[in-house]
Amino acid sequence: MGHVPAPLRRRNNFDFPAKRRREIVLHARYVGAMDTEDRNRWLIAWVWHNRKAKDQIWSVMEAAKRMGGKITEAEASGITEEASITRKHLTADNLARFLGVTYEQRQRLGLTTIGSVNVKKRDRMEIRRVRDKVKHRDKRRAAGARPRDEYEANSTAAKARAEGVSRMTIYRRRRAAERAKNPPHVTGMSTAIFLSSEDRPVTPAGVEGLAERGFASKKECPRSGRGVAATVGASGLASSQTATTMVADRYESLPLELRFMALGLPLPQNLARAA
């Protein structure tokens, strides 16, 4: 057996530093950071997440433009040096304290990699859990689901407690009501038959009409005088025994031994000796 390659894994192309840089630029534009004296904080945080840049000074100048401001090459060089000696704040909440990001700003801008200064991570998780719970509840209500208290009020257990009986008693009463609606001698309407437009229950109330449904009736055979069971249906068609008698009439002009051979019947012994 040849070598079987391992299944290919789905590659994760998510770039966390790039997303963090975009959110820093977004917050800086929202609060107008380039027009304040603390604009270097957003540029320093941006440098922390831009380690792979080949030309860091040019990258800082471009980041300042995206934030809504403009700096010189000397200022960009100084910001780069300051970022290298400043203690890094890389976690979500630490970076939020460094930039002053509030929970309201975080929600308005849709920030996911930066925390907030007034709502901690655990509290944000609880808020998210409650918000998702309400969202799923509204979705179930829109789909037709009943509230829990209404469902329990109309449940079988609630009815049993109100009447002072067990749940099995309620179930038995329901089954009895279903039997009353559908009596045992009537199983429902019959299958659709295109030869007749009349419809009636599958199980008849009486035994009338047995002959027209195909039950055999005794008739006297005109040749042998014996009783022959002839089954005649509602359409008037003869049964297989009557059909056999009709086939035998076709060979009436033949000799007796040839008639037995034509019908595939064994030849009687007396006729065999005579032959």
Residue 100 token pair:
């002053």
The span from the CA of 117 to the CA of 129, in Å, is 20
User: What does pTM read for this prediction?
Assistant: 0.52
The span from the CA of 214 to the CA of 233, in Å, is 5
SS3 state at 189: strand
Backbone angles phi and psi of 99, in degrees to 5: -100, -15
The span from the CA of 202 to the CA of 3, in Å, is 65
The span from the CA of 115 to the CA of 117, in Å, is 7
Q: What is the pLDDT along the chain (275 residues), one digit of tens a residue?
A: 456 555 555 556 788 999 999 999 999 999 999 998 889 999 999 999 998 888 999 999 999 999 999 999 999 999 999 999 999 999 999 999 999 999 999 999 999 999 999 999 999 999 999 999 999 988 988 888 888 888 888 888 888 888 899 989 989 988 888 888 876 665 555 555 544 555 555 555 554 444 444 444 445 545 545 444 444 444 444 455 555 555 556 666 677 777 777 777 777 766 655 55
The span from the CA of 38 to the CA of 69, in Å, is 13
Q: Judge residue 148's burial from the number of C-beta atoms within 10 Å of its C-beta, 0-12 exposed, 13-18 middle, 19 or more buried.
A: exposed
Spell out the alpha helix ranges (H) of 143-255: 148-153, 156-163, 167-181, 240-250
SS3 state at 217: strand
Name the β-bridge partners of 218: 229
SS3 state at 6: coil
SS3 state at 243: helix
Cβ proximity of 243 and 237 under 8 Å:
no
